[in-house]
């Protein structure tokens, strides 16, 4: 099979998934593709370009509009990004690093278009779309950072159990709220909690439109996350 930009990006995604950004070097990429580094430079000029292409490949499906109401489409886009970053944590870092990259432009366009279809007044539409975009990127980036700080083999339930126990032991006068929600911390599902936040933003948009908000959807819809060539 001949060398192509698509093959190079797919191999880069595999390296990023297994070895992280530090492991993505043109030497390692050439070894994986069984070619010379010079042949890769013919298709990709530098590592930054490669990272941008890999990020776009992973998120292209997430940003694609879907059939359904604008609310359903916005939930699907948000969950698509969440799932993609959950599977490829390095994507979260890239989204906070390069503000003009194609993947972020596509996400901004997709979210903004659905906000327009919702009928949010134009004067508030930019703020509403930006609020949702920032929430999605912020949570995805935070989860990616946490994933990178946890030792391999760590069991999530044990970590949350330890944190919950620490919250329960806090001073009741200084931290009454944290003590009260400690059981929820122990048992919560990150994806469900993320979707609840999306619903809160959508409820705010409904208020801007002057219509009743849809009830929160705590079910976990089966949303394909649109991963790129690494599949």
Domain residue limits, the chain: 1-45, 63-209
- Check residue 230 and give its pLDDT: 36
- Separation between Cα atoms, residue 202 and residue 104, nearest integer Å: 20
Six-digit token pair at 220?
A: 């976990």
- Check residue 77 and give its pLDDT: 93
Q: What is 1-45's CATH topology?
A: Arc Repressor Mutant, subunit A (1.10.10)
- Separation between Cα atoms, residue 202 and residue 197, nearest integer Å: 9
Tokens 């126990």, located at residue: 165
Q: What is the pLDDT along the chain (231 residues), one digit of tens a residue?
A: 679 999 999 999 999 999 989 999 999 999 999 998 889 999 999 999 999 999 999 998 777 767 789 999 999 999 999 999 989 989 988 887 765 578 888 899 999 999 999 999 988 999 999 999 999 998 888 877 776 666 655 666 777 888 899 999 999 999 999 999 999 988 888 889 999 999 999 999 998 887 665 555 554 455 444 334 333
Which CATH number is 63-209's, of 1.10.238.10, 1.10.357.10, 2.40.50.100, 1.10.3090.10?
1.10.357.10
Sign for the CA dihedral angle at 140, 146, 148, 152 comes to negative
The answer to whether residues 226 and 61 touch, using CB atoms and an 8 Å cutoff, is yes
Tell me which residue of 205, 30, 9 sits closest to 102, measured CA to CA.
9
């Amino acid at each position: 099979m001949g060398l192509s930009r698509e093959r190079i990006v797919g191999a880069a995604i595999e390296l990023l998934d297994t070895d992280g950004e530090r492991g993505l070097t043109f030497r390692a990429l050439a070894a994986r593709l069984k070619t010379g580094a010079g042949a890769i430079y013919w298709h990709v000029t530098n590592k930054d370009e490669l990272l941008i292409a890999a990020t776009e490949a992973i998120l292209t499906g997430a940003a694609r509009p879907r059939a359904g109401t604008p609310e359903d489409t916005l939930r699907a886009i948000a969950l698509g990004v969440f799932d993609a970053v959950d599977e490829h944590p390095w994507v979260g870092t890239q989204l906070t690093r390069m503000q003009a990259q194609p993947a972020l432009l596509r996400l901004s366009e997709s979210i903004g278009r659905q906000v327009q279809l919702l009928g949010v007044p134009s004067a508030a539409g930019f703020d509403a779309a930006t609020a949702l975009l920032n929430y999605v990127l912020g949570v995805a980036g935070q989860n990616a950072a946490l994933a990178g700080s946890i030792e391999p083999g760590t069991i999530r339930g044990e970590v949350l159990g330890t944190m919950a126990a620490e919250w329960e032991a806090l001073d009741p006068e200084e931290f009454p709220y944290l003590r009260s929600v400690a059981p929820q911390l122990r048992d919560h599902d990150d994806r469900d909690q993320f979707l609840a936040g999306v619903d809160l933003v959508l409820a705010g948009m409904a208020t801007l439109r002057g219509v009743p908000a849809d009830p929160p959807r705590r079910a976990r819809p089966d949303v394909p996350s649109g991963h790129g060539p690494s599949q």
